[in-house]
Amino acid sequence: MLMRISLIIAIVAALGAGTLNVIQLRGKINTLISQRDDYHTQLTQTKANLETTKNDLAKTKTDLAQTQQQLADSQAARKKAEATAAAETKRANDLSDQLAKATQERDAAQADLAAYKATQKTPEQVLQLVALIQKDQDTINALNDETKVLNRTILRLTNQLAELTGTGTFVVRLPADLKGKVLVVDPKWDFVVLNIGDDQGVLDDGELLVSRDGKLVAKVIVRTVEKNRCIANVVPGWKLGEIFEGDEVTPAYPAS
């Protein structure tokens, strides 16, 4: 009897515990269902927000592309306008220069016409005068050239005379205004080729100072003279630096 009562009590306790567990489980299930519904609602809202954001982003990209295109078009139009303005400015300047030149030529022509009228000479007489003037000018040019040749000859003979009759160290004097440049440099054999020669008054054994930027580089002595160039050797002990093409040369002993 006692055992039956204990069994009944155990069964009742088990049923009570089972009922309690079912109630607790149902509460948890309801809580999970509620959380699921909340998460579903949030997910739906998030998807909707994401779609809105995507649409806004697409619209922003489209607007940006349109703005960039408009900016590129504006820059191209500005460059075209600037180029057109520069071309028109140059054209205006050219026309202004042409007008000034034409005006100057017109004034010169009017002055020539006035001078011609003042001479009271016929066109034939004027042409004869022009021909005479040109002939005289040609004669003057020829005499000037001949004078230069004579001066070079005099200088050469003066140097030779000084060498024969003078005492002490003899030097060849070159024209004071003689200036030239180094064309070729041969550092192995220490000689240079200069762009001045007989036509400019260079003489054999004439000495020239080589300089660069106002500083003395070397002294050379002429060994071979041609029409418009010469070859010179570097004077021993006078090479203060390397000689380069384009260095300037002037007489070491200019004629007074």
Contact yes or no for 165/188 (Cβ under 8 A): no
- Please give the pLDDT value at position 251: 96
Last residue of a domain, one of 119, 136, 152: 119
Whether residue 132 is found in the same domain as residue 205: no
**Which residue range(s) make up the domain with 3?**
1-119
- Please give the pLDDT value at position 35: 76
- Please give the pLDDT value at position 16: 57
Whether residue 136 is found in the same domain as residue 212: no
- Please give the pLDDT value at position 24: 67
Q: How many domains does the chain have?
A: 3
* 175 assigned to some structural domain: no
CA distance 219 to 252: 8
Whether residue 151 is found in the same domain as residue 56: no
- Please give the pLDDT value at position 21: 61
Mean pLDDT by 10 residues, the chain (256 residues): 64 58 66 74 79 79 82 81 76 79 80 72 71 75 71 67 64 90 93 94 92 95 94 94 95 87
- Please give the pLDDT value at position 235: 93
* 196 assigned to some structural domain: yes
Q: Is the pTM of this model over 0.85?
A: no
Question: What is the per-residue DSSP string for 142-159?
Answer: HHHHHHHHHHHHHHHHHH
CA distance 29 to 132: 132
